Structure 1
């Protein structure tokens, strides 16, 4: 068995175990398991980089690996703030996201895509690392923040919504969601701008209304509305959470839906290429 296969099995197993440990509230063990998963995913990305000779973001399989790793990274970035607020089960949200993205990449994508190979000519650019890295990191942060907003809505509309403990938890989710989305939005903005510069360099136009570009713009607009409403009008709680929850579904459409269902200028290395 190859080193890549071993690391792949370790990453899959530890993500699955981490998800169960957080579900059963075994935080110390869960955190250790999350570290192992995070390190294994980092090892997979580095090994893929060495094998292919290019930064591992050239197709859907590699971007799923990177997204899964980015979610685990986001877990450790936000974990300290969550702990200060008394919420120790952050992995209830992050572990399933990382696991299912990784499982999708491993079991749903064709073996040919999972094999390391050279870059297609259209992707041989110094902009690849900057643009795609920023976009995937922004997706991870925005998905994380949006999931917290969805959790906020569930808590504040449930039968025990007036419970003091649940109100405190909802307030924590609202704050963490705002902070996380505040990180993801600038990353998305710079990612889109770098993509526009790359598009002009490659295709002679900054914007072509390609399906991927269009949905990225729609996603950007919904989170711009979210931040504008909070900063300008002081919206928080359910109003803001509803906007962010819409953003959750838009990210998945932009990241997977467009590439699985449609063709466009961004189809290199995807299922429709």
Structure 2
């Protein structure tokens, strides 16, 4: 079997399947009454996940090492992780909006890896001596899985902001996703206010002394419908769960990297650009979790933090490669 040819077919197939899957999820949002769209979308993500797993497996057999040593391999591992976390999130939420947010990102990652990278960066090459260690699988794979979970969680937070855009919404409940919507505290009403409320429904207020016509006061912004409120709550809780999954993985990955660095270079931390941005990523999502668990934040404020975290993850993973230096660079076009 020609493993190189198989990999070329699988990476293009992964891109094509994810592109169609993205259109299916978006079609499900445009035509919510067609029940087949969510099923097809889930099936598409599962097929793409399997294709990328087979690609990485073929890469492993061909090269004889865990396939995560260059930019091409890491991109497909990241896309595989995103689709895996997506399937978990969709199973927990049963919402088609999850795929509408995650499918474009997974498709973009595979398109960049399969269609944009030059051939020399897609070719499997022998490992450099520094990477010939069991820590390669432990450290890098855990870091990439943490990126996947954090990206999905951040995308769900962005989806929450879009769903509630321009609308007043307030959530309550525990941060572990068992909350419900907080009704505004009802103020005690006097008998006169009660009479007026009753009279408002009829258009007049009758009293012993006079009859007055009341004009309803319009609110500044209409409230969200119950369905959108339920969706917003689901996205908020699910975003927290996915970030809560990714943060411990990020912590373990950083610790494993420090142990490996101490073994390979004699120092656990050298303030390499990748290390610095990994620390920044950790601090951003630590602030997110602290705000939710300790401060009780829910809704828009933690969603803004997660949105910032989404950008920080991409700078940490891909942006530092633009510098063209550092011990962790996967390489670039230069």
TM-score, structure 1 normalization:
0.94
Distance (whole Å) between structure 2 residues aligned to residue 244 and residue 44 of structure 1: 31
Distance (whole Å) between structure 2 residues aligned to residue 130 and residue 28 of structure 1: 34
Aligned residue in 2 for 1:17: 20
1:190-248 deviation line (CA, Å, top 9, x unaligned): 00000000010111101100000000000000100110111111111111111111100
TM-score, structure 2 normalization:
0.77
Aligned residue in 2 for 1:38: 49
Aligned residue in 1 for 2:82: 71
Alpha-carbon distance change, 157 to 224 in structure 1, aligned in 2, over 3 angstroms: same
In structure 2, runs of 5+ residues without a counterpart are 29-36, 168-220
Q: Which has the larger radius of gyration?
A: 2
In structure 1, runs of 5+ residues without a counterpart are none
Aligned residue in 2 for 1:249: 311
Aligned length: 269
For 1:98-113, what aligned pairs fall within 5 Å after superposition? 98-113=106-121
Aligned residue in 1 for 2:224: 163
Distance (whole Å) between structure 2 residues aligned to residue 162 and residue 119 of structure 1: 58
Aligned residue in 1 for 2:92: 81
Other structure's SS at 2:133 match? coil
Distance (whole Å) between structure 1 residues aligned to residue 89 and residue 134 of structure 2: 30
RMSD: 1.6
1:93, distance to aligned residue in structure 2 (A) = 1.5
Q: Which moved more, 1:22-31 or 1:183-192?
A: 22-31
Distance (whole Å) between structure 1 residues aligned to residue 87 and residue 222 of structure 2: 29
1:272, distance to aligned residue in structure 2 (A) = 7.2
2:321 aligned with 1:259, yes or no? yes
2:64 aligned with 1:53, yes or no? yes
Q: Which of 163, 172, 188 is the matching residue for 2:234?
A: 172
Distance (whole Å) between structure 2 residues aligned to residue 154 and residue 11 of structure 1: 28
Task: Judge conservation of contact 1:64–1:102 (CA < 8 Å) in 2.
Answer: yes
2:148 aligned with 1:140, yes or no? yes
Larger helix proportion of the pair: 1
Task: Judge conservation of contact 2:66–2:137 (CA < 8 Å) in 1.
Answer: yes
